[in-house]
Structure 1
């Protein structure tokens, strides 16, 4: 059956009439969805390894931790996590719906950990695949099914989306992009709906809006942009029914999120936090509802004539509501942190790769990023500053100004955000796909008008492929390995060690294996016994894969700036005494050290990690820190550890235990140099010699504190690092061998050694 679609355009060429058969078009949309899913599945060889599922170790790891809690305790939600900012614990900064939804879907398929991890691995690709639908719908509404299909294809292949929504990555980016695309598409449909369907469409929009607020901490920004765009577009429509339905819809959104806000309690930023779900979100929704309600009431009292009259009324109402909100101190004070984050005016921004700008020339200070532009959108990236003009150009002639005003508002905000921080490229991808599809289709029709339709399609197609080529190069290197994996080929080595992200997960799993279990992982209210100090960027993977608390994590200073400073101070300390003091301040029994380009000579961590804590010229042997485990040979570090490429034969990760250390009081000749040595075998089978030395004082006593026990020497315990000999204590003229028990090391017992 063949339909005629009229009035889907409103472009510079007037309404576009496109003849299409719905079944081939539907098949093409499904094909775009298939491509979207395929490209986001290319990382499967690094996710599904030997029966294990290696989830992303970064922000997605905390989503996994929280979702797994709900999966085990369904339908409970983890609102306060004792494993965050240990020993204090903290309210979870993420809104609850996304994590709870992952748990709910996983429960449909079973109740085992294997089921959960498999479902979690596919969440992002599925969301990205579904995002093709609102992208197509928005493109079709703007200028017909051709633009819808082009936009769907662009979204499917843009690395800006693919890189943030790949298999194994449980971060919220895919869900946010899906809800945002749905929000824009529903808003556009509402503005062009007939009077009878306003309420129905407003309620649908209300549910999408509420889902976005309940899924992402930064939702307040998008709610503000969305309502501003709809208000500007709605003033051109000027229907009382639209004003009323929008007011009711915003009220429904506020009512939908209020119970979740109440259940979550007060967030870190206070009850009106702008960077976490809070009562500020409820207040903002009700404030927006009051503006729409005011417009409806005013229109009831006297009909406004031209749109300029509507704008005047809206300006008065927005000013009243806005000024009223700013007069409330908690509301006014809560807005500042959100602005600081978007403007990158905080201390964390220069160190966070997600907050690097799109173009290298925009970087300033110690920026960590490179030029990401061609990686994200291909050559189309160069046109991102022009994107608002591309979508707004039809405003000059179109009678559908409301639709293009909405697109223009979103294009302006998302383009600026993406230029400032690459994390927003993922959210820009749906709107950019529609905008660039609109430009491609205009080029096609222009060329066709000068020659014929076939030439127009050919030139536009080849040109688009050329502009996309740098972006496509992101995908092609991974295809041979993916093809081999799908055909059943498997490497003859542990593939999880070859990939930096999965190798980090493996080490976190090792931490869980070699350390005592801690309380409270699944039991709300229980207090863990100790924490593991690590780089803040490794905190989330320790929460999920190691199931251990950390004092600082990937939330950075937004969660607890003081504890981030404690961790940073430990990594920069120049003495063991200072490190031990910092570990004790956050009850950290273990310290995970990492090999990285920033390790500096003269710091204690440099001596400890690279020298195994054995005596060197500038450091004596470690007294209160002993090696528990190290990463396996061949383990690759993460890209962030060595952006320029990692050196050969390094050990990316080591785990150290904080112990009191047994105190050896060695009786020797006054002034004699006394040295203690111990052969140590690590969990990987590597052997090194621990050593420490000092001189006997005037009374002939040398004091040496040692961190290793010799009790497990005979058993040859392989799971953790262990002694391979007795301690040798020697001076210039005497030598003895001694045993040191585990209780003596843990309690700091004193042992007397006679060398005379």
Structure 2
């Protein structure tokens, strides 16, 4: 016999026969010292890979940690931190509703609490004070540690699947893959990396169950994997994808190999998933807002979980009574699965529609999926463009990997886990094509597939002649250069702009938190704020966490209550008249408007205007930011209800100036001017700011025949604590061509905010 390798079941298989080599004498077993050094080298390489993975995920530390402050990149990360800070202060309680999100109504928070509670427990155990930068620092460093955990779990799966070589190669690829790095960078406090880690560890436990000889350890490993897969729904509702993957892999394996190993593993795995999912759904249904953590799972998750548990049971019954010939068994097993999932996808929703009044199954399923998971199966068909840039690293290895895992899965000498990796790769590709952030889900199975195919090619070359070995090694070297070296400089520019954008807007957020009037205690999720801040919906989490202000719209999306805030934000910035915007602010209790430069072209485009000629477009977004409130959308003249209160200059990464402006909504003082006769009247106020160019406000009108003119003015002339304030009293000038009258007028801030009347007599 030729050389041998370990099989998934523990038996020995001829290596030369598999790879095409010639038979020869059996080599002597390596000496114990040699085995020891090989083992030490293996662990040293693994430690080097883990250290390199942590180093790559920590390169952004200089952008995140700025002295005593922490600049957390991203948007969802800030709301995770808000909930973590609350959980640290409230002894592990995460509210189900937040009155400071989508004000004035507030909104339910459909994120599960597992990720936030886990980091909160870490902060409490390490002595971090609530609502402090210590919590932010601990959470920021926990993310690259979880990323290193994904690398280690990938090595574990690869080692169980095809041996130590595959494990090391797969771990090395995940350590440098841009999509895996992007979700586990230091400071990116989001649940993606935790969900991927839990799923990878669960699949490793499942492979352990398939490899176990004794029935009791096999069942224990499978049940542990099922508990972890079910509990992963507490981290991310979209983790139902991993449950479906486990069910599909188990059913496919049972259709091909009906063995006691597979039956035990599938039954205990999927039964544990269903039990945990049922418990989580029950906890979600009985959750009391503001007192216990909220899960926001739906019947959709429960139906799919129970269907996955029933699948192997149904196959067991079919195989027990079906003929022993392969063709009838496959036909009967496939028909049973088609019947089961047909009932799940059509009959069950039909009954649900009859009982609950749903409009249609497709609509109900899509609504439930999108509204409860936020991102998951319902978003596969409408993802973000540009995913190809995230997958360029796999151009050399993806076809080979896909062919390898499929070819290995259909061979008679297939291994445990071949179908799992193959289906994982297919689902990962579908998810990545649906939305770019899901490319991280693809990173692990793709690395395993590429690693397995490379190890197979290397062993094939070792069993062949030296020329073929040299050609294969050269091909692998070129693929490695394309797959690893090229994208190393591609992922960093994607993370730095998020941190830069927050740094550019951070002074405005700090001003809203420290200098602006307080809307209330933002740490109290149930306290209704006294007023809110209108902004582009992408900045909602920044306003709530970094500025302590209530937002009108936030980046949750995908549910009607959050979509309402997004529609209101678009309606405000796209309004064609100031009256429409003022009415919306009055209705929603808005006091401040945050207007950075970056979203202005998008807001103009959403208003149905041409963003290529911004200054010629008339809407509230351009009136506020481009004209600084000196040009109303519907007329030639300044805005009457919005005043510039703060302006913060910054710069784009290219060096071009970048400005963030903060406006305050007011009723505007009603200035009644009594002039000697009919003529033209103007009211001028010079507004100064130490860090911005001066603003010359000028409102104009014409007196009636009896010499009366009314103007609405949003600026006062008092020395206020605002950054932008009047340099002196207002100057009122009346002219009729032959005569002229002038006066100075003091406008109190109280009159501006309440709309009080101020009279000016020019006689």
For the aligned pair, the TM-score class normalised by the smaller chain equals 0.7 to 0.9
Displacement, 1:39?
A: 0.8
Select the residue among 249, 259, 275 that pairs with 1:238.
Answer: 259
For 1:469, the equivalent position in structure 2 comes to: 485
Report the 3-state secondary structure (helix = DSSP H, G, I; strand = E; otherwise coil) of the residue aligned with 1:708: coil
Q: Structure 2 matches for 1:53-452, cutoff 5 A?
A: 53-112=70-129, 113-194=132-213, 195-235=215-255, 236-239=257-260, 240-258=263-281, 260-264=283-287, 277-296=297-316, 306=326, 308=330, 309-326=332-349, 327-329=351-353, 332=361, 334-337=364-367, 355-359=384-388, 372=389, 376-381=390-395, 384=398, 387-400=401-414, 403-448=417-462, 449-451=464-466
CA separation in 1, counterparts of 2:119 and 2:286?
A: 19
In 2, the alpha carbon distance for the partners of 1:447 and 1:142 equals 21
Partner residue, 1:6: 6
The answer to whether structure 1 residue 649 and structure 2 residue 664 are counterparts is: no
> Paired residue for 2:508?
507
Offset of 1:399 from its aligned partner? Answer: 2.6
Q: Is the 8 A contact 1:710 1:742 kept in 2?
A: yes
Residue 744 to residue 475, structure 1, CA distance change in 2 (3 Å): closer
Contact 1:234 1:242 in 2 (8 A): no
Query: Hey, what's the Cα distance between the residues in 2 that align with 1:225 and 1:175?
Result: 18
**Paired residues, what number?**
700
Give the corresponding residue for 2:569: 567
For the residue of structure 2 that corresponds to 1:612, the secondary structure is: coil
Conservation of the 8 A alpha-carbon contact between 2:209 and 2:221: yes
C-alpha change, 1:228 and 1:210, in structure 2 (3 Å) is same
TM-score, with normalisation over the residues of structure 2? 0.83
Whether 2:751 is the aligned partner of 1:749: answer: no
1:532 aligns with 2:547: no
Task: Output the aligned Cα RMSD.
Answer: 3.5
Q: Label 1:507 to 1:179 Cα distance change in 2 as closer, same or farther (>3 A).
A: farther
Question: 5+ unaligned residues in a row in structure 1: which ranges?
Answer: 360-371, 480-494, 638-644
Q: Which stretch shows the higher mean deviation, 318-327 or 215-224? A: 318-327
The corresponding residue for 1:365 is none
Contact kept, 8 Å, 1:206 with 1:252, in 2: the verdict is: no
Give me the whole-angstrom Cα distance separating, in 2, the residues matched to 1:384 and 1:466: 12
Structure 1's 26 and 498: CA in aligned 2 closer, same or farther, altered over 3 A? Answer: closer
Deviation at 1:650, TM superposition (A): 3.2
Identify the range of structure 1 (243-252 vs 10-19) with the bigger mean alpha-carbon deviation.
10-19
**Farther off after superposition, 666-675 or 55-64:** 666-675
The farther-off stretch of 679-688 and 566-575 is 679-688
Residue of 580, 590, 593 corresponding to 1:591: 593
Alpha carbons of structure 1 residues 476 and 539: separation in structure 2 relative to 1, 3 Å: closer
Aligned to 1:668: 675
Which deviations, in whole Å up to 9, do the C-alpha atoms of 1:575-630 show, x marking residues without a partner? 21111112223222111112134453212221221222125895322211112222
Larger radius of gyration: 2
Deviations 1:440-470 (A, max 9, x none): 2233334443318788656634541233232
Shift of 1:438: 2.0
SS at match of 1:664: strand
**Stretch of structure 1 that moved more, 330-339 or 82-91:** 330-339
C-alpha spacing 1:109/1:43, structure 2 compared with 1 (3 Å): same
Equivalent residues of 1:8, 1:15 under 8 A apart: no
2:656 and 2:247 map into 1 onto residues whose CA distance is 54
Tell me the residue number matched to 1:490.
none
1:339, CA displacement in angstroms? Answer: 6.7
Work out whether 1:684 is the aligned partner of 2:687. Answer: no
CA distance in 2, matches of 1:580, 1:730: 28
Deviations 1:58-81 (CA, angstroms, capped at 9, x unpaired): 121211122221122121112111
Q: 1:379 to 1:14 in 2, by over 3 A?
A: farther
Q: Is the 8 A contact 1:11 1:143 kept in 2?
A: no
Q: Secondary structure at the match of 2:237?
A: coil
Assess if the C-alpha contact under 8 Å between 2:640 and 2:714 holds in 1.
yes
**2:584 alignment partner, one of 559, 582, 585:** 582
Q: Distance in 2 between matches of 1:531 and 1:11?
A: 71
Query: In 1, Cα distance between the equivalents of 2:576 and 2:367?
Result: 34
Cα distance change of structure 1 residues 390 and 628 upon mapping to structure 2, 3 Å threshold: farther
Q: In the superposition, relative to structure 1, how do residues 251 and 344 fare at CA in structure 2: closer, same or farther (>3 Å)? A: closer
* Partner SS, residue 188 of structure 2: coil
Task: State the shift of 1:635 in Å.
Answer: 4.1
1:39-98 Cα distance to aligned partner (Å, 9 max, x none): 111111110012210112412121112222112212111211112221111110211111
Return the match for 2:630 from 599, 614, 622: 614
Closer, same or farther: CA 110–682 of 1 in aligned 2, 3 Å: farther
Q: Tell me whether 214-223 or 295-304 shows the greater mean CA deviation.
A: 295-304
Following TM superposition, by how much is the alpha carbon of 1:255 offset from its aligned partner in structure 2, in angstroms?
4.7
**1:445, 1:456 within 8 Å by CA — same for their partners in 2?**
no
Q: Deviations over 1:499-553 (max 9, x none)?
A: 2233334432332223332335333432111211111111111121112221211
Q: 1:22 matched to which residue of 2?
A: 39
Does 568-577 or 301-310 show the bigger shift? 301-310
Q: Name the TM-score, length of structure 1 as normaliser.
A: 0.84
